[in-house]
Structure 1
Amino acid sequence: MAVEAISHADDQMQECIDNCLEAAQVCEWCADACADEGEAMAECIRLCRDVADLATLHARFMARNSRYHADLASICADACEACAEECAQHDHDHCQACAELLPVCAETCREMAAH
């Protein structure tokens, strides 16, 4: 069965799922790359790891239509925004990728929080 066949996942939810999974991937890349950059990147690593975990969990909650997905959406959006702000302060490609992608994820998560 294709993902599109999940009856409760409308276009808005599917977009958020996709954004969350992409956010998790870019944050895992960024956290791993930042580990080689030294102690100055500790906060970036922490926030990226939080986003990766929260975004993945949020995608899973939406996929199974959990009654808690809207609550988690708000927390995921907060984490994405904080991480994007931190990553924007660093010139590394991986940080800039997070800074660009995470606001998009935060926006769709905010929409899911109101859903």
Structure 2
Amino acid sequence: MASSQLNLDKETESCLDSCLTAAQACEWCADECAGSEDMARCLRLCRDVADLASLCARMCTRDSEFNSQLAEACADACEACAEECEQHDHDHCQACAEILPRCAESCRAMA
């Protein structure tokens, strides 16, 4: 079911969509970073974002009363992860660095 079919306001719908995209990008990045000692911080941050963004998307879908607080935490994690990923030349890191600021922005707008 597309988020537009859930009867959500525009900010919540944008947050949900960007969180799902961020979670996918971070899962890919974390998987690619696995096993590389110099990528440990990137791996941990990507896993944090993937978990937070997935949870945030689920909370948006059910219009939880905790959306705002979780969206703020997700935005903070996205910003930290984007900063880390920007430092690496890998395609997966650059994808995260491009996607995560948009997720942070949409989460803050919804919160």
- Band the TM-score falls in, shorter-chain normalisation: over 0.9
With over 3 angstroms needed to count, the CA separation of the structure-2 counterparts of 1:27 and 1:2, relative to structure 1, is closer
Amino acid of the residue matched to residue 21 of structure 1?
A: L
Q: Tell me the alpha carbon deviations over residues 28-79 of structure 1, each in whole angstroms, 9 at most, x when there is no partner.
A: 000000114x100000000000000000000000100000010101000000
Give the equivalent residue in structure 2 for 1:94: 92
Equivalent residue number for residue 102 of structure 2? 104
Q: How does 1:23-42 map to 2 (within 5 A)?
A: 23-36=22-35, 38-42=36-40
Tell me what 1:6 maps to: 6
CA distance in 1, matches of 2:34, 2:109: 33
Cross-structure match for 2:65 = 67
CA–CA distance in structure 1, aligned partners of residues 70 and 50 of structure 2: 13
Q: TM-score, normalised by structure 2?
A: 0.95
SS at the partner of 1:5? helix
CA distance in 2, matches of 1:50, 1:16: 17
- Give 1:49's aligned residue: 47
Amino acid at match of 2:5: A
5+ long unaligned stretches in structure 1:
none
Aligned-pair distance for 1:2? 5.6
Q: Secondary structure at the match of 2:63?
A: coil
Tell me the CA shift for residue 3 of structure 1.
3.9
Percentage of identical aligned residues: 65
Distance 1:2 1:105, change over 3 A: closer
Residue 16 of structure 1: aligned partner: 15
Judging changes above 3 Å, is the alpha-carbon distance between structure 1 residues 35 and 70 closer, same or farther for their aligned structure 2 residues? same
Q: Tell which structure's C-alpha radius of gyration is larger.
A: 1
RMSD across aligned C-alpha pairs, in angstroms? Answer: 1.2
Q: Is there any run of 5+ residues in structure 2 with no aligned partner, and where? A: none
Show structure 1 runs of 4+ deviating over 3 A: none
